[in-house]
Chains A and B, each alone.
Chain A
Amino acid sequence: MPLEERDEDLVRRSANGDRSAFGVLVERHERRVFNLALRMTGREEDARDATQEVFLAALRKLSTFRGEAAFTTWLHRVTVNACYDLLRKRQRAPLLDRLPDHEPEPPTSPDPAELTDLSIDVQRALLHVPEDYRVVMILHDVRDLPYDEVAQVVGVPVGTVKSRLHRGRVALARALGDALPRERPERPAPSDEAKSR
């Protein structure tokens, strides 16, 4: 069975005019880009726009990609920037946020329908987390990127990534409220300002 061709080799071939190589890159990464954009923006329409924009940008800028960073890191960075642009551009309530409120029952079994409910709650809650925290959380907790790669994508030190990750998780849990799939203790008082972080 032939080894899968490395992204960097496909990029080089694409930049040299081999457009089928670019097709392989799209096929390989489209889902990753779309889902990152979907979690960041909460709107399928925006995720579609971002995905198209990211790959068109990639196509135009292939010759400038010098391989200092992994292609996926670069692609993530372009996607995150596209999402920030879209979020600034839209500045309106995400569609998921307009779903009718409901009080979900605590899940008692791994029923797929309940998982779907929970996923919607999580997506909705994500949109209440500040963008700088949200992006770190999505990259690390959803996309499974290690701290140092998240730092490269976002362009901040690793220590900042860890702090934002923690703050984002706490903010998400508070936004989720009763939808959290486990028992929680009393929430601590919101005393962020008083802390010497």
Chain B
Amino acid sequence: MTHPEELLAGYVDGTLTEDERTVVDTHLKSCETCRGEVVLATGAVAALAELRDEPVPFGVTGPAIADFERRAARARTPWWRARVHWVAGLAAAAAAIALLAVALPHVGREAGDERAGQGRLAAQPTTIAEGGAPGEFAAPVPLEVQDVDYGDAVKLQALAEETAALRGQDLSAPVPSPTTSNKAATAETAMSCVAEAAGDGLTANDTLVRLIQAKFGGKPAYLGVYLESPGPDEAPDQVVIWVASKRACSLLSFSSKAI
């Protein structure tokens, strides 16, 4: 027997034409299966009507959009101003990285980067001063490799909060889990990938403080953790994390946390 399946939804909804309804009524007289299904479908529609809209939890979209907008606006800063801002912000950047270097003694690093904290701090001003706009200089931080999937929004937010806590000079904050050594990619590759994914979102007021190779939703990903200042000569007020797919350098996610 052929069942008029395309008409049964309309029959339950009461949207059929008279002719269509007659077709269905005639069929139902001889089809017990469809009669049962019409009753089931009617019950399902009534049950679905019980679902009410839930209120949107606070802070789902607004802060993310505002954050994106703010960074896009900063990205429109003229390049010469951006460069001045970048150099002027060196002291804050160096201080922040020094703090992280002290607080993260067990973080895995690129081969040859074992000198860690002091070496990187000494090199950074020169590198930035010569490098020009953000994203064009060698990575100022090592690449950490973590066996963590940041596809869970809670973990990503926890990373932002953890960095914000460290920036807040709370040296008693828990040290991040030790990471494995890395041979997979260079910090420069990771930094370029994150910068490509973030696009206009990265500005002269963003200072890279951590680079992480991990996973996001099961896919290999790079995470760039930045301290962001509201303007030149101002202390960072945000931790921002950009997540890029390792393969395509496309933007997978980002998260931010006020310091």
A interface residues, Cβ below 8 angstroms from B: 19, 22-23, 26, 30-31, 34-35, 38-39, 44-45, 48-49, 51-53, 55-56, 59, 89, 115, 118-119, 121-123, 125, 137, 141-142, 159, 162-163, 165-170, 172-174, 176, 179-182, 184-189, 191, 195-197
Contact = CB atoms under 8 A, between A and B. Distances in A.
A65 to B, nearest CB: 16
Interface string B15-35: 000000000000000001101
A3 B12 CA distance: 36
B56 A51 contact: yes
Contacts of B105: none
A52 B68 CA distance: 11
Contacts of A185: 35-36, 39
Nearest to A49: B153
B46 A181 contact: yes
Contact of A162 (B6, B56, B60): B6
Interface stretch (B47-55, B80-88, B131-139, B186-194): B47-55
B64 A56 contact: yes
Contacts of B65: 22-23, 26, 55-56, 59
Contacts of B60: 30, 34, 48, 51-52
Interface in B51-75: 51-57, 60-62, 64-65, 68-69
B3 interface: yes
B6 A184 contact: no
Tell me the interface secondary structure of chain A in the complex: helix
Rank and list the top 9 A-B pairs by shortest CB-CB distance, nearest first: A188-B36, A173-B40, A169-B41, A169-B44, A89-B217, A165-B9, A173-B44, A141-B48, A166-B9
A142 B8 CA distance: 18
A162 B10 contact: yes
Contact of B43 (A30, A44, A167, A181): A181
A125 B51 CA distance: 12
A172 to B, nearest CB: 4
A80 to B, nearest CB: 17
Given A122-B48, A137-B44, 12 more contacts: A48-B60, A48-B153, A51-B61, A137-B48, A166-B6, A169-B40, A173-B40, A179-B47, A182-B46, A185-B36, A196-B2, A197-B2
The interface centre, meaning the residue of A31, A173, A191 with most chain B CB atoms within 10 A of its CB, is A173
B3 A56 contact: no
A162 B47 contact: no
B248 to A, nearest CB: 15
Contacts of A166: 5-6, 8-9, 12, 37, 41
A63 to B, nearest CB: 13
A119 B49 CA distance: 9
Given A51-B61, A197-B5, A119 B51 contact: yes
Contact of A169 (B9, B56, B69, B151): B9
Nearest to A89: B217
Contact of A180 (B10, B43, B54): B43
A141 B153 CA distance: 30
B68 A59 contact: yes
